[in-house]
Structure 1
Amino acid sequence: MTFFKPFAVVAALAVAAAPAFAESRVTYKSAKSASSYYQMAVQIAEAMKAGSGNEIIVTVEESQGSVQNVMEVKARGADYVFTTPPALVRLAQGGKAMFEGKGDPAFDEIRALFPIPSLTMHFVVSEASGITDFAGLEGKTVLLGKGSFGAREGAKYLGLFGLEGKVELAEVELSNAVPALKNGQIDAFVTAGSFPAPNVIEAAASTGVTVLSLSDEQIAQTKRARLVIPAGTYAGQEEDIVTTSLPVVAYTTTKMDEETAYQLTKTFWEGKAAMGEAAPWWNGVDESLMANITGKLHPGAIRYYKEAGMALTDAQM
């Protein structure tokens, strides 16, 4: 199943092109080409071109990850836009964790433009398992996957919620999660990505699943952002799912001129509804995600948000 329909976005936006200005060429560095975030980047590129009347031309570059995206700020120019969680920007600016000993004044010039779909945690259990909450995972077989954010976060949550050593961890690749759940090889799997997640959609449609909600206390333990997946997102989901997420934001630097940053931000928000028609993950992006941008916004973006009447914090200014 795919949600990606870039030409639908182009058609929808072409009729509402923004006023002309000097052509801007932008490089948008995203994620691995097989990921949903790369698909989002391509969709943004199409939307920018259509929504600006061909005045914003975006070239999408594949990336090996968010850390690489931040590190390249040191060598990039005014046309560089990249995606990363705000937490990584804070670490880079503080020279901490993976950026220890690799600090650079260029990191202090990073500025936010707009939020994109968050990495959203899904704890997916089969209906046949009878699991209704995290305590019910005890003694069950859970697939975490390997090496991904979702796998690391899932293992962390099992520890936080008193389940470490109390579940059987399946030695199955996450790509095989749905058939493994269907044939009873596993009782649950953990995945992180933009919602609606394709593997969760498939599992809900073919097997019948429950996506577990976290309590407010559990969310506080994780120290992650609270996120609500609306009822009806997945087949059989009658209530909202309360879970956690890792926010992801599109950034540039102060090298970018104000007008280009303004047009990028304006075109993104004005084209978001059309993007959502082509790919439902955009429907989870709204003004509420602005609170997840903990650092400074680019002056051009600030100009748009003031015009649009969106509230900004002192820290974002």
Structure 2
Amino acid sequence: MYRLATSFALALAVGASAVAAQAETRVTYKSAKAGSSYYQMGVEIAEAMKKGTDGNIIVTIEESQGSVQNVMEVRARGGDYVFTTPPALVGAAEKAAGAFEGKGDPKFAEIRALFPIPSLTMHFVMSKASGAADFAGMEGKTVLLGKGSFGATEGEKYLSLFGLEGKVKIADAELSNAVAALKNGQIDGFVTAGSWPAPNVVEAAASVDVNILSLTPEQVAETKRASLTIPAGTYAGQEADIVTTSLPVVAYTTSAMDEETAYQLTRTFWDQKEAMGGSAPWWKGVDKALMVNITGKLHPGAVRYYKEAGFELTEGQM
């Protein structure tokens, strides 16, 4: 009788484990290079999904070489693939334009958005000792742009747009050296792009008195980028809001993902966002206002959540 009861209990346990295994959904999340802020965001999202679904959704983080690669992999991935990229790159992929010229694929038309994540935000950081409190004040100063990054390319573009081309000395150094170089007086400022609060800007503002430059509405319009406001008090010594520009970044999947998984991913993200912001302040920059930056279609599962939660969606997003 004891053996029979034990066998029955074991059978129940095995059956329960099988049901649990069937209920578990595994998702791959591909974002950025290991060690980057966006890779860390992926880790935080994975933890939030596990916590918010009681372990029913398990997210595996994959290192990426960049947003273009993330989009390109749509061609070979299935319904368990989530990736991040600026919305503009999704549009380019669908049109086989820009980085995707000659590389078009019908699967690009199946890309669907889930939720926004922190935007790539431009920071123009100048030491107060340099006297530069606006872009005109950068003339004659030494500025570090870095090399090969979005921030470097965008920073160079802005110098040209605002009449500073050839009037600013560009330091020949890596962005990783920016804070030390600013503290030592080797440079007057640096340009960086990342989610806010940006760790290197936090470090700079805590080490040296700095001015983080604001753009005028006219300058924002010239850049043709999305406007973004960094609230006063985000950085040490920052007494006023900073108006700058950003490149929106969104978490995507494809129509191959089932509706329930997309719904749970989206719901859990928004449910856990406040808790994530408690340990990583960059999540505080994500709110309903960023939804307008999603220019393509949302996954039907995400649409279901947004309608339930009372989000206003555009016709193009549904």
TM over 0.5: yes
Q: What is the alpha-carbon distance in structure 2 between the residues aligned to residue 198 and residue 74 of structure 1?
A: 34
> What is the correspondence of 1:100-179 to structure 2 with a 5 Å cutoff?
100-179=101-180
Alignment partner of 1:71 is 2:72: yes
**1:17-41 deviations in whole A, cap 9, x for unaligned?**
xxxx932110001100010000000
Q: What is the alpha-carbon distance in structure 1 between the residues aligned to residue 304 and residue 190 of structure 2?
A: 43
Q: Which amino acid aligns with 2:87?
A: P
**1:235-284 deviations in whole A, cap 9, x for unaligned?**
01010000000000000000000000000000000000000001000000
Q: What is the SS of the residue equivalent to 2:28?
A: strand
TM-score normalised by the chain length of structure 2: 0.93
Q: What is the alpha-carbon distance in structure 1 between the residues aligned to residue 35 and residue 261 of structure 2?
A: 29
Structure with a larger share of its residues in helix? 2
Question: Can you give the 5+ residue segments of structure 1 that lack an aligned partner in the other structure?
Answer: 1-20
Q: What is the alpha-carbon distance in structure 2 between the residues aligned to residue 198 and residue 59 of structure 1?
A: 25
> What is the correspondence of 1:242-261 to structure 2 with a 5 Å cutoff?
242-261=243-262
* Number of the residue aligned with 2:300: 299
Q: What is the alpha-carbon distance in structure 1 between the residues aligned to residue 313 and residue 94 of structure 2?
A: 21
Q: What is the alpha-carbon distance in structure 2 between the residues aligned to residue 35 and residue 196 of structure 1?
A: 14
**1:166-190 deviations in whole A, cap 9, x for unaligned?**
1100012111111111111111100
* Number of the residue aligned with 1:214: 215
> What is the correspondence of 1:279-290 to structure 2 with a 5 Å cutoff?
279-290=280-291
Q: Which amino acid aligns with 1:287?
A: K
* Number of the residue aligned with 1:55: 56
Q: What is the SS of the residue equivalent to 1:146?
A: coil
Q: What is the SS of the residue equivalent to 2:240?
A: coil
Q: What is the SS of the residue equivalent to 2:296?
A: coil
Q: Which amino acid aligns with 2:61?
A: V
* Number of the residue aligned with 1:99: 100
> What is the correspondence of 1:183-198 to structure 2 with a 5 Å cutoff?
183-198=184-199
* Number of the residue aligned with 1:235: 236
**1:80-109 deviations in whole A, cap 9, x for unaligned?**
000000000000001001101100000000
Q: What is the SS of the residue equivalent to 1:315?
A: helix
* Number of the residue aligned with 2:203: 202
Question: Can you give the 5+ residue segments of structure 2 that lack an aligned partner in the other structure?
Answer: 1-21
* Number of the residue aligned with 2:6: none
* Number of the residue aligned with 2:12: none
Give identity over the alignment, percent.
77
**1:30-76 deviations in whole A, cap 9, x for unaligned?**
10001000000011001000100100000000000000000000000
Q: What is the alpha-carbon distance in structure 1 between the residues aligned to residue 211 and residue 139 of structure 2?
A: 16
Q: Which amino acid aligns with 2:60?
A: T
Higher Cα Rg, which structure: 2
Q: What is the SS of the residue equivalent to 1:54?
A: coil
Moved over 2 A (4+): none
* Number of the residue aligned with 2:270: 269
Q: What is the alpha-carbon distance in structure 2 between the residues aligned to residue 186 and residue 172 of structure 1?
A: 10
Q: What is the alpha-carbon distance in structure 2 between the residues aligned to residue 193 and residue 27 of structure 1?
A: 23
Q: What is the alpha-carbon distance in structure 1 between the residues aligned to residue 211 and residue 190 of structure 2?
A: 11
Q: What is the SS of the residue equivalent to 1:119?
A: strand
Q: What is the alpha-carbon distance in structure 2 between the residues aligned to residue 253 and residue 277 of structure 1?
A: 30
Q: What is the alpha-carbon distance in structure 2 between the residues aligned to residue 315 and residue 220 of structure 1?
A: 23
Alpha-carbon offset, residue 138 of structure 1? 0.6
